[in-house]
Every structure is written in C-alpha cells, then in structure tokens.
Structure 1
Amino acid sequence: MMSLPTMVFLFLGISILVYLFICYLGYRATNQSSMDDFYLGGRDLGPVVLFLTIGASWFSMWFLLGAPGSFFVHGVGFNSFFILNIVLGVFMYVFGRRMWALGKIYNYVTPSDMLEHYYDSRFLRLISSIVGIYLLFPYIGIQLLGAGVAFELIGSPFWLGVGSMLVLVTIYSMIGGMKAVAWTDAVQGIFYMLLTWGLAFWMLSKGVSGIGTLGNLFSMVDGRYPDFLKYPGSSGYFTPLNWFAYIAIYVTAGIGLPHLWTRYYMAKSMSAFKVVPIGHILFASWGFVPILVVGILGKLFIPDIAIVDQVFPAIVLEYSPVMAVVLITAAFAAAMSTVDSQLMAMGTIFTKDIWQVFIKKDNSERTLVWVGRIAMLILMTISVAWTFLAQGSIVALSMIAFTCGSLLFMPLFGVLFYPKAGKYAANISLIAGFLTLLFTTYIVQDPGGVYGGGYALFIQVLLFFGIAQFEKNHLKDRTKHYHEVLRKSIDGEYQATKNGHDWQTVKTKTN
C-alpha cells in the first residue's frame, strides 16, 4: 500500500491538473490587455459563480482547519459564527447592490477608487490601500500556514506545504486572471463544502465513532465537559463584549475586505444580488454544522492534541488514512480559493492605487496588467516570510485581517448611507482605528481581556460619527447628487444599456 505522503501527492497532483486546465480556460476567455477583464473578470459573473467565489474566498484554512480548532478550544461561544453568516447574507444584499451600481457607473476597480472619488481625498486612497495590502499579508499567511501544518501532520516538511501552495496559486492567478480565479473558486468551494459535510457525518455514524446521532453527540460532550455547550463556552473567552466585537468585525469584514469588496463590482447585473445572499447563507451558515460536529468529536476523542488547528485532519486520520488524504486535498482547495483572490487583490491595489496614482500615471492597460503580475510575486514573497514568523492559531491570526476589513467598512458606510461624513471623518477615523489595532495586537494585546480589534473599531466609529457632526463638507452639493444617483440606480431609474450610454450620462453629471 502507498505511504500517506505518496497518496497526498497523488491526490494533489490530480487536483492540480484540474486547476491548471481551468487556468487555461480562464486565460483563453480573458483579454490580457484589459484591466477590467484581468482584474474583474470582465464584470460579467453570473449569480451562481459569484456567490461561490465569494463563499470560497471567505472560507479558507481558517474555516476548514482553524474553525474546528477554535470550537474545540472555546466551545459554544465560537459557534455564533453560524448566526453571523445569516446577517452577512443580508448585508450582501443591502450593500452589494449599491457597490455594484457605483462600480458600474464610475468604473471602480479597487475599494480605494470609490473612497478617493467620493471623499475627494487622494490621502484616503493611500491610507486605505496601505490598510488593504497590510491585511492581506496575514490573510495569505494563514493559508500558507495551514498548508504547512497539514503537511506536517502526514510527516512531510512544513516548507513543502507552503512551497506547493505558493507555486500553484501564483501560476494560475498570474496567468489566468480573475476568470480563472472565480471558476477555480467555484469548483473548490463545492468540493470542500461537500467533503466537510460528508466526513463529519461519516465519523458521527455508527461503526466509526459509535455515536450515531447529533443528540447522542451533544449528550456525550455535555456529560464530560459541562461548560462546553453553555455560554460563554469552556474557555470563557466569548464574554458578551468579545462576542459583540466578533459580531461587528466579522459581518462588516465580509463587505470591507478588498478581495470581497471587488467581487461586488464583478456581477453581470444587479439581479445577481437576489441570489448571492441566499446562496451565501446556505453555503456559509450551514457550513458550520459539520465544523461543530468535528470540534465536538475532537474534544471527545483527542482532547490532548497539541496543535488545535490539526483537529480535523488528526481525527479523520484516526479512522481512515485515505479519507485524511482527501481532507488534506480539500484543505489545499480551501486555501487556494482564498490565496488566489487575495493575490489578485494585492496586485490590483498596488497597480491602481499606488503605481498608477503615485508612480507612473500614463502606462497602457497591458503594462498595468504586467505591473500587477510583478507586484503579486513581490507581495507573495513578503507573505511567505510573514508565514514563517507568524505566531498564534489560524483563527487568531485571521482576526487581524478581518479587523482591517472592518475598518475599511466605515468609510464605505459613509459613501452609501451617510452623506454627512466628509473626508476628515473618513481619514482621521481610519488612521486612528488602524493605529489602535496595531497597538492592541503588537504592544498591549487584548487589554482587559477584550479582543483588541474591538477597541479599534469602537474608536473608529466614535471618531467617524463624532467628526461628521462638526465637519463642513466642501462637496455638499456633489455629495447630495451622488446619493441621488445611487438612489435612482437602486430604484431602477438608470439602466445599463448595451453601449453603457445611460451609465456614462450619470457619471458625467456627478463628476
């Protein structure tokens, strides 16, 4: 019989061939000289592919490896994420339609495109792009970290897992563009979500764990660990303050993270946002059910595991090495479906928000696509270095990225719903929130036992709304018209014609 590492490499080899074929299809379908085509998939993604690429990009190693480990440690407090994804689905409908309409009218490519244009602040573009790139380092890093952890479990070197992930994702992201990324995400998302459900309930069934039903599972863990299923959970970490901080950060990050924000520009039509929220709720919220099952099984059968992020593959390995191989392949799929999106976001932000604005403005679109590709290589290298220096669990590290995404959400809220806020409210609150996050992450970690990102978001919200009460918006008339255009777009008074004439008329009036 083949060794475990050999089986892993065989399964990964087969999946890699599939991904490279999708990369080829994406390359053939992409105009390599068009930024819209390369970075935004031509803005014509259908609703099913859109919700799958959003879901797969949102759920990564932190979901497949990190979430079972955190539920194993914290108990029921962590499973509030199930509820949060229902709220996030609603946010996708409310915010996504508006972000799509503005992206269509003004041809936005990055989050900073929208923020600079609305607030008339190039400084805000710079700050928001710095925050956007910074958050992608730990987020890419945890995917690579998960790949290394998975390889260690089967007796292979950590660096081999990181290197395999690095090479594959870089190739198909740089060559295939966003179409290849989105199509690969869709395949990977379906694969690892079905596998998660299948493995969890296979282990639960009689003859494997001997438990049989969810009722028996809950009864058994409640008997051995009485605090596990009672709030705030066995660790006591999810106090009301921490629970609220996680709610606020998680839901707003699902809109504000750059690799997700840009996806709201990619829909073929506004009607896609009737499907995307429902798809996300089904894909994401119910995806936490098998994670709950795995966390409890780990608590019951391997309570002394040293590395909690290995709970899922370790417990599967106890029952079936073959199924563990499939799980590790799925973990790679989960990680790749996030890394590719983040790598594209990094390249897009650097090209549009830094290179084109602050370095060289008059490059052709073909040159800008190549600038983005080179930026991807350099920024990916930094992410690899970050991976080998990172400390903490996958979920803990991912919260750094989530909080940055949440900080970008507040100026977006002003663009869409709060015309009273001007550039000073947006700039000062974003800088203060970001500095607070750095302070509570690297200098005084989680003061008073409350997650540091909660302080960052609280200070930003306080300053954002506080400054807005006194700020004199120098673009008052323009801002008013901008919100009027947005309202009419949502109400259907402006429609996208084949030649884009109606949208161009709106753009001219607002500029």
Structure 2
Amino acid sequence: MDIALMVLAGLVISSLVYLSIFYIAYKRTNRKSVESFYMGGRDFGGVVLFLTIGASWFSMWFLLGAPGAFYKHGSGFATFFMLNIVLGLLFYVYGRRMWLLGKVFKYTTPGDLLGHYYQSKSIKTVSAILNIYLLFPYIGIQLLGAGLAFEAIGSSFWLGVTTMIALVTLFSVFGGIKAVAWKDALQGFFYMGFTWIVAFWMVKSGITGFESLKELFVSVDTSYPKFLEFPGESGYFTPANWFGYFAIYVFAGICLPHLWTRFYMAKNMNVFKTVTVGHIAFASWGFVPILIIALLGKMILPDIEKVDQIFPLLLLEYSPVLAVVLIVCAFAAAMSTIDSQNMAMGTVFTKDIWLSLVDKDSSERSQMLVGRISTVILMAISVIWTFTSEGSILKLSMIAFTSAALLFLPLTGALFYKKAGSLSATWSVIAGVFVLVIFTYVTSSPFGVHSGVYALLAQALVFFGFAQFERYDRNKHSVAYHSLIEKAIAGDFDKSLAKASISGGQENEI
C-alpha cells in the first residue's frame, strides 16, 4: 500500500476520533457565550489542564524541530530538558496568581490582566499587538511542519498544509475551548507515548545496529567527538546563547497567549499542584526519546539537508508503518497547538483591540462573530507568513518565543514587583521589540549571540530603570492589588474574593 494512502487512512481514522470529541464538547458549550466558548466555564481539573498545557506547549516543534536542532547542534541543545523543570515550577508560582486574578476580575486575555493592573490602555494594546504578531510565526511552524512531514514520505507539501488548515479551523472556529482542550489531552498522551515506544524499540530491537544506549553514545562520541561536548558540534550554544535560549523559552512558556489564558481556566488553585508535577514529568523527561532519535539519525543519516525531517526519514529507513504513525502524531502535535493559538488570537483581537479600541459596547453575539472572522483572517496571514519566511522550525520558533518572553517582566511587575508601573511596562516592551526587530530583520546580531538575548537585556534595563522613578508601589490601586494576591495565596481566598468583587466591577473598566 502506498505510504501517502496509509497516511491518509491514518488521518481519517484519527480525525473520526477527534470529531467524536468535537461533537461531545460542542453539545456542552454555549456557542453564543464568550465565557463558555473561550474560557470553557473555568472548570478544568488538574489532569486535563496539564495535558492541554503540555500538548499546546510542545507542538510540531517537539516532534520535528527538537530532533532536528539536536541533530544539528549537539549537546548544547540537549540540555534543554532542564528548562521544563524550571517552567513547571513557575506554573505553580505564577499560575496560581494568574488564576486568582482571572477568577476575581473575569480576565480572558493577557491584556486584561496587564491593562487592569497598570490602569493603562497602552500596555493592553501593545500586548495585544505583540500577542497577535508572535502567533503568526508560531502557527506557521505547525503548518511548515505538516508540509515537511508529508514531503518526507514523498507526498505533497501542500496536501499536508491544507489538511492541517481544514482540521484546525473546525475546532478553533466552531468547537470552543473545551473541544480543543479535551482533544489536546488525548493527542498529548498519544504522541508522547509514541516517541518513547519508538526510541527504545529502535535501540532494543537492534535493527539500527545498536543494541544498547551505551553502544549508541560510544559510537557517536567516536565518530563525532565534539557532538557530546559542550557547546556541541555547531559551537552555537555558547554560555551566552544557552542562557539566553533558556530564559526565552521559560519566559515564553508562561506568556504565550494560548498558555497564559489556560491559567484562567483552572477549577481552583489546588489544580496547579497537578499541573506542576505533571508538566515536570511529561515535559522534561519527554525530551529523552527525542534525543535518542537524534543520536540515531546522526549515525545512520549523517548528511540530511532539511534537519527537521530527521525523525520521519529515520523511521522510513526501518518501518514505513511507524513513519505513517509519526505523521499522524505530528498532526496531533500541531493540531493541539494551532487550534489553541487560533482561539487565543481571536480572543485577543476581540477583547483587546475590537472591544477596547473599536466598539466597547459590542454585544456578545457581535463579539463571537468578530472573534470567528478575525480567527480566519489571521490564520490566512499566518499561512502567508509561513511561505515567505526562511529558516528552520527552531529559527522561526525563536521569533515567536522571544516576542512572548517580552511580556514576562510586565507580568512579574503585576504579580510581584510593586515599583514598576505603566511607563515601565509599556516602554520596556517597546524597547525589547525594537531591539529584536533590528537584530532579526535589519542587521546581524553582534558576537553571534541571538537577537532575543539583546531584546531581553534592553527590556530589563528600561523596566527596572523606569521603575526606580515611577514607584507604582505607592499607588493605592497597586497596593490593593498586591494585597489581594498575598492574602489569597496565604489561604484567605474567600474573604479576599468577596472584597475584591466589590471594587473589581468598578476598576475593571480601563
């Protein structure tokens, strides 16, 4: 049977499963309610929440981009599993506070929280523009990965792209967040399990010529002595770049809009215990089989041009059936991210741009219509972005992740750092974006250090510098806001909620 037909059959079968989930969630969602459609009733339990966060976080980048990056760069990239341990801990520290504020003030977007705390439309608008901008390349990554996966098995690049677009549009435009989250949970469990099974089967079965991990590592070390030494074979991951990538990915893991909004959806604060433990186990150790795949690829297929295709090409060498399953898994990984991103993009446009700047009296029905139309239009822009941009999945992902990471300091100010006010938050983001654009699109980044590192440094200087003069900690709104957080985290949530609800309705309008 032709491999392309096998892939098609696999996608049809998996799509029927997804459609069953879609139908159940569709029936349980009020599609005329913004709160129900985009927030899912804010009643997600720990297991579903950590799986949908993990699945949305990994995406096509995990199955194709990460093996390709390790294959190309070596050990400097391999240590990336560590960042997911730190990120899991931040989910607990930041996520509980973000959930609390979302519960009290009914936030639905990142701009809702930032705009309300800083009492500023400027930071709300800047964050909205940045959130929409960063999702273009991130959605593009998923589409690019779908096309490359199909191309690797000899099928049409465009067949992969159009199939992906059709599937994710159904969920993000018509399904609602419950349909997306439930499907994410299943898909994340599916493709994570697949990578573990495949990696250890290829070693333990001996079909690749390596009968143990020790033998594989020794062979790589003998053939490519610099590959397993820091900073790796390419030499790219110098200490500056490594720590820069680490900061960018960790900060982005909190601030990517489709992940940020997930924190609002938890049923209660205790859910974040499960999210933290689950993510550390699911995400950090999930990199182990990916690294094994890259090592096998380095030995068996050492001269691949498109490194993002290493995983499917390696499977095609030994098991076309598993290669087919990989493509289905890759689609699952991409779908679990791109439909979440589409919904986040529609929500941000509707709440932070349309309602804030165009028609603040728009009815809920109009908001739903605007959200759906904007989702389709912005998705189309993402498609154009994908095929006019150059670079690997890793390179494109860094544009998106750095843009998201620029919201981390303003968020930190709202949750912890009381001195920083609207000027610190707004102008630090603008400074970071300016540096990122200059060193990404206008000129090369100095000394071979990634442009995102300079963007974060420039932002930090402006943020903490302005804060010393702004002293927002003397503002009554800021004092009350931080007092609410501190009391709730200390266990006085019910009393704090009652007090905050009285003033929250008056203050929530910026």
TM-score bucket of the superposed structures, by smaller chain: over 0.9
RMSD (CA atoms): 1.5
Contact in 1 for aligned 2:153/2:312 (Cα 8 Å): no
Contact in 2 for aligned 1:104/1:503 (Cα 8 Å): no
Q: How does 1:271-310 map to 2 (within 5 A)?
A: 271-310=270-309
Could you say which residue in structure 1 is the equivalent of 2:504? 507
Q: Distance in 2 between matches of 1:403 and 1:185?
A: 24
Could you say which residue in structure 2 is the equivalent of 1:367? 366
Contact in 2 for aligned 1:494/1:502 (Cα 8 Å): no
Q: Distance in 2 between matches of 1:97 and 1:219?
A: 44
| 1:508/1:161 CA distance change after superposition, 3 Å | closer
Q: How does 1:100-249 map to 2 (within 5 A)?
A: 100-249=99-248
- Structure 1 counterpart SS, 2:281: helix
2:400 maps to 1:401: yes
How far the C-alpha of 1:176 sits from its partner, in A, is: 1.0
Could you say which residue in structure 2 is the equivalent of 1:263? 262
- Structure 1 counterpart SS, 2:328: helix
Could you say which residue in structure 2 is the equivalent of 1:378? 377
Q: Distance in 2 between matches of 1:305 and 1:253?
A: 30
How far the C-alpha of 1:502 sits from its partner, in A, is: 6.1
Q: Distance in 2 between matches of 1:323 and 1:468?
A: 55
Could you say which residue in structure 1 is the equivalent of 2:421? 422
How far the C-alpha of 1:144 sits from its partner, in A, is: 0.1
- Structure 2 counterpart SS, 1:22: helix
Instruction: Give structure 1 stretches of 5+ with no counterpart.
Output: none
Deviations 1:432-458 (A, max 9, x none): 101111111111133210000000011
Deviations 1:76-96 (A, max 9, x none): 100121111000011100000
Q: Give 4+ residue runs of structure 1 displaced > 6 Å after superposition.
A: none
Q: Distance in 2 between matches of 1:502 and 1:174?
A: 37
Contact in 1 for aligned 2:70/2:291 (Cα 8 Å): yes
Deviations 1:339-382 (A, max 9, x none): 01100000000000011111111122122112101111000000
Counterpart AA for 1:20: L
- Structure 1 counterpart SS, 2:97: helix
Counterpart AA for 2:377: I
Q: Distance in 1 between matches of 2:335 and 2:17?
A: 13
Contact in 2 for aligned 1:105/1:506 (Cα 8 Å): no
Could you say which residue in structure 2 is the equivalent of 1:94? 93
Q: Distance in 2 between matches of 1:157 and 1:390?
A: 19
Could you say which residue in structure 2 is the equivalent of 1:484? 483
Contact in 1 for aligned 2:105/2:505 (Cα 8 Å): no
Counterpart AA for 1:152: E
Contact in 2 for aligned 1:482/1:510 (Cα 8 Å): no
Q: Distance in 1 between matches of 2:380 and 2:506?
A: 43
How far the C-alpha of 1:221 sits from its partner, in A, is: 0.4
Q: Distance in 1 between matches of 2:132 and 2:506?
A: 32
Instruction: Give structure 2 stretches of 5+ with no counterpart.
Output: none
How far the C-alpha of 1:496 sits from its partner, in A, is: 8.6
Identity over the aligned pairs, expressed in percent?
60
Contact in 2 for aligned 1:84/1:247 (Cα 8 Å): yes
Deviations 1:464-483 (A, max 9, x none): 00110112539712101110
Q: How does 1:322-337 map to 2 (within 5 A)?
A: 322-337=321-336
Contact in 2 for aligned 1:141/1:386 (Cα 8 Å): yes
- Structure 1 counterpart SS, 2:469: coil
How far the C-alpha of 1:213 sits from its partner, in A, is: 1.5
How far the C-alpha of 1:503 sits from its partner, in A, is: 5.5
Q: Distance in 1 between matches of 2:464 and 2:411?
A: 13
Q: Distance in 2 between matches of 1:495 and 1:219?
A: 58
How far the C-alpha of 1:390 sits from its partner, in A, is: 1.8
Contact in 2 for aligned 1:55/1:284 (Cα 8 Å): yes
How many pairs align? 508
Contact in 2 for aligned 1:495/1:503 (Cα 8 Å): no
Counterpart AA for 2:458: I
